[in-house]
Amino acid sequence: MKIKLNKQLRFGFMILCSIVICTLIYQVYSEVAIHEYQEKTNILYSYNNKSNVSYEVFLKPNILFDTNRLVEDQIYFTEYTDYINIAFQYEFSGSNSANIEAVYKISALVKGYTGALDNTQVIWQKEFPIVAETKTNIQDKSLSIAKDLPVRLATYNDFSKMVAETSKVSSQSNLSIVMYVEMKTKTDNGKVIEEQFQPMIVIPLNTNYFVISKDIPTEKPGTIESTEKFRIPADLNKIIFYSVLIVLSITTLIFLFLFTINLPDKSELEKCLSKIFREHGSRFVALESEIIKEYGDYIKVHSIEDLVKISDELEKPILYNYTGNQDDIQLFFILDGPVMYIFNLQESISSFSNNVGGNIMINS
């Protein structure tokens, strides 16, 4: 026995199942046939550069200090200073062996300037080589350069005073001790790394006391990377899940085709009854027994609207014989003493179908 379903509901379920099946088939096709790719970054070579400069101030014998040297970040007396020992360090380290080439030199740069803080203007400058340009080349993972050198402050103070005396130009001056490093590394994969560093310290000249400023330690890491694309494999769990849903949807669609039928369209009588009860149901009273046969005189009315008007006029309810089958409800009537006003729905429908206008009739 086939299940009866509302025509629109059954058709809607079929359309929905068809859309779901098509969508899921496309999802499975996308997982299997449409290739997706993802980028992956590989580190071919990693490296790090470190540079630093430090110093110690060595003192002449004096009546103030019991030690012959002072550490960093202090105030130093020019007259007590013998020399300043400066230590430069540079280190390159890589993840693999590579051809490392470094060129470095150390210079003393004396400058005369005017102004203060960041708003200064250089009037004159003179460079004194301390360590000549040196080149080193190795095949290794790392390279280190360390240079210690004593700097006698009096030499540069004297030079600054001589410039002022001979040029008749008075200005502030300082001394910069700079290590210039140029590094070039060629890795096994042919990539080239080039870096430059200039660690330095700065010392004021021609002052009774001074404070030394220096660069903070510098660390500069880096990597050489390559990017490759790889195909993302199909998600087997998704394919199985979609496949199960496809089977269920196809099964549902087959069931709707083979084991369900559309409910038959409502008859004209059913449509009219539904409309009558929808619009005037509050006026009706259902009777368990038939009393229409007890009346000899009754008046037929043309339509249910006419019967409603009579009900309003007489202030009487509209009656009908109750039955379990709605199709058997055909007569609606009003009792007014010995007179019954009656509307026969089936006759009204038949008359309308035959294009015969119904009139109010009186039967005796």
Segment 15-54, tens digit of pLDDT: 998 999 999 898 888 888 887 788 888 888 999 999 999 9
Burial bucket for residue 185 (CB in 10 Å: 0-12, 13-18, 19+): buried
Distance CA 87, CA 56 (A): 9
Question: What integer pLDDT is reported at residue 362 of this predicted model?
Answer: 32
Please tell me whether the overall predicted TM-score, pTM, comes out greater than 0.85 for this model.
Answer: no
Question: What integer pLDDT is reported at residue 33 of this predicted model?
Answer: 81
Regions of the chain where pLDDT drops below 50: 355-364
CB 254 within 8 A of CB 15: no
Report the 3 state secondary structure along 136-202. Answer: EEEEEEEEEEEEEEEECHHHHHHHHHHHHHHHCCCCEEEEEEEEEEEEEEECCCCCEEEEEECCEEE
- Phi then psi for 204, rounded to 5 degrees? -65, 145
Amino acid at 202: V
CB 169 within 8 A of CB 160: no
Torsion over CA: 27, 31, 36, 40 (sign):
positive
Question: What integer pLDDT is reported at residue 149 of this predicted model?
Answer: 94
Question: What integer pLDDT is reported at residue 364 of this predicted model?
Answer: 30
Query: Which residues share a beta bridge with 20?
Result: none
Torsion over CA: 56, 201, 147, 155 (sign):
negative
Measured over all CA atoms, what is the biggest interatomic distance in the chain, rounded to whole angstroms?
Answer: 153
Question: What integer pLDDT is reported at residue 357 of this predicted model?
Answer: 39
CB 41 within 8 A of CB 229: no
Question: What integer pLDDT is reported at residue 82 of this predicted model?
Answer: 95
Distance CA 96, CA 116 (A): 47
Question: What integer pLDDT is reported at residue 179 of this predicted model?
Answer: 96
